[in-house]
Amino acid sequence: MNKILLLFMLAAFGFLSICGNAQQDAQYTQYMYNTISVNPAYAGSRGVMSIMGLHRSQWVGLDGAPRTQTLTINTPIGDSERIGLGVSIVNDEIGPTAETYFDIDFSYTIPTSDYGKLSFGLKAGGHLLNVDFQRLTQFNSNDNLFENNIDNKFSPNVGVGVYYHAERFYLGLSAPNLLETDHFDENTTDSNSSAISFLAEERINYYLIAGHVFDLSYEVKFKPAILSKIVFGAPLQVDVSANFLLYDRLTLGVAYRWSAAISGMAGFQISDSMMIGFAYDRETTALGQTQFNDGSYEVMLRFELFKKYNRMLTPRFF
């Protein structure tokens, strides 16, 4: 009985994510390796072509729980490295819904000092929304709202961002989707008129990211970081993390998502070009106390192409 109740609650949660007024972007624990997904100004900032793939399974054990796959590619253009280009593809599934985002990122960087750089970014693209209402348990089989699925509903996307980084510090502010798109059901009318009601309204997600790298010793670096996401009509999300880089190879860290989860992270720099990372979240909410939720998992793989004369002396910690 409890399991049936939990599955019903999850299905309701997934549907409310579609029907609610404050739908949010996918969330990541290893956001420090996935900055370009939320800030287009990050494109090209690493000085090399960087290819990153990430998979996230959230609330493992619950049917219909969120699953996210992300692929990003970004690189500087030209010898001056002032122009950066990137491509981001995100597939996000929860319950009966699936969204695919595809964006092109452009950045322009201005040196502000011998070490500091300020980048401005633009993001353009779109996303496809699919909703399979047949996956929901319908209490009223005659409800017109559930008669027709939503198939590949296209919505355009435009975003902006600014990103400052120096040798040991970074700070970014962005809004990766500025268009508050309504997803309509043309067959649905209210009781007073023939006005069309919407199933979902995309709200603007504002992101603030920051971090600083400290040398604790020759072999150990310490980086505290923060990501804050603001969506009007939804609770404030704040992720705070602390990562330690040991011998320029092994990264170990912990994170806390305000009123939501605690996380453990580990990464290993396999070679100059390749890094792998893992993360595990445990909910601090009532959902995390159930026997049907085994937590959330992430795996990340990053591959970077260096120029022949530009081999990595020490890995960039952001």
One-letter amino acid identity for 193? S
CA nearest to 69, candidates 32, 105, 99: 99
Q: What's the pLDDT tens digit per position in 226-255?
A: 999 988 877 888 999 999 999 999 999 999
pLDDT of 277 = 97
Q: What is the distance between the alpha carbons of residues 37 and 28, in angstroms, rounded to a whole number?
A: 10
Dihedral over Cα of 172, 176, 179, 183: its sign: negative
- The confidence score (pLDDT) of residue 191 equals 46
Nearest to 56 by CA among 91, 32, 88, 23: 91
Rounded (10°) CA dihedral 180, 185, 190, 194: 100
From 69, 67, 71, select the one nearest 296 (Cα to Cα): 67
Whole-model pTM? 0.81
Q: Which residue has the tokens 């923060």?
A: 226
Return mean pLDDT, the chain.
Answer: 82
> What tokens were used for 177?
């989707």
Least confident of 17-31, 68-82, 128-142: 17-31
